[in-house]
Structure 1
């Protein structure tokens, strides 16, 4: 009986770790063109539950410099929802200023049980955040 319980627990942990592997990686959102107005958001989800976010905004009308913003913190995954957390004491400094607390994104991917040949690109769809500009953004896995 103990062996069966150990095997079930081991199988459960493999399943949980396998889902994180699908999540981990680089995500990107690009809007516009370099010649006029370019917005690029890059998000890196790491295996250790940390993330780094980079926002690049360049308007080519006038002599305005590109605006770069950064954020970092921790992320968790539960029920197809990725939740982001930022500890102000630990993750904030003069470079990392974006507050990701209360930010949530839905994780969209092709189920391993889906045997059709339809293509579903892995992505994060943000649906809640204190930062109004990130809500409804879809970031695709690179």
Structure 2
């Protein structure tokens, strides 16, 4: 009985690891305007379920002209939907001020059954966020 239970446990663990979607990694999006303004979004999803986000903008006529904003917290995945959460006591300080608590992003990648030549970049498409400029933002996996 112990052998059977051990075998089933091992098979289950292989199945679980085999279905990993590879959500963890670095995601980036840089936008340049015709006036040489820069908007840069960087998101890192760590294997341990934590994330770090950095937003940088350099706008010639902006007040202030350069802005850095940071956020961090935890992420979980269910199917292709990634949910972000931040703990007010642990994840917020003078540097980390962005609140990702209600943020959700969809993981988009080319379906392995799609044998066409079209190129679909792996990305996170934000579908919900209380951060106004994060709604409908796509960040691409590096």
TM-score by length of 2: 0.87
Question: For 1:11, what is the secondary structure of its paired residue?
Answer: helix
Q: How many residues end up aligned between the 2 structures?
A: 139
The structure whose residues are more often helix, as a share, is 1
Tell me the SS of whatever aligns to 2:76.
strand
After superposition, give the CA deviation of every residue in 1:44-77 in whole Å (9 maximum; x if it has no partner). Answer: 1111111000011111137843010000000011
TM-aligned CA deviation for residue 125 of structure 1: 0.3
Q: Where does structure 1 lack aligned partners over 5 or more consecutive residues?
A: none
Alpha-carbon shift at residue 5 of structure 1 (Å): 2.4
Q: Following the alignment from structure 1 to structure 2, what is the Cα–Cα distance between the partners of residues 44 and 62?
A: 27
How far is the alpha carbon of 1:30 from its aligned partner? 1.5
CA offset at residue 15 of structure 1?
A: 2.5
Q: Residue 57 of structure 1: SS of its match in structure 2?
A: strand
SS in structure 1 of the partner of residue 90 of structure 2: helix
Match of 2:16 in 1: 13
Alpha-carbon RMSD across the aligned residues, in angstroms, is 2.0
Unaligned runs of 5+ in 2: none
- 1:49-107 Cα deviation digits (max 9, x unpaired): 11000011111137843010000000011120011000010000100000000100000
Contact 1:126–1:138 (8 Å) recurs in 2: yes
> How high is the TM-score relative to the length of structure 1?
0.87
1:38, distance to aligned residue in structure 2 (A):
1.2
In structure 2, the partner of 1:99 is 99
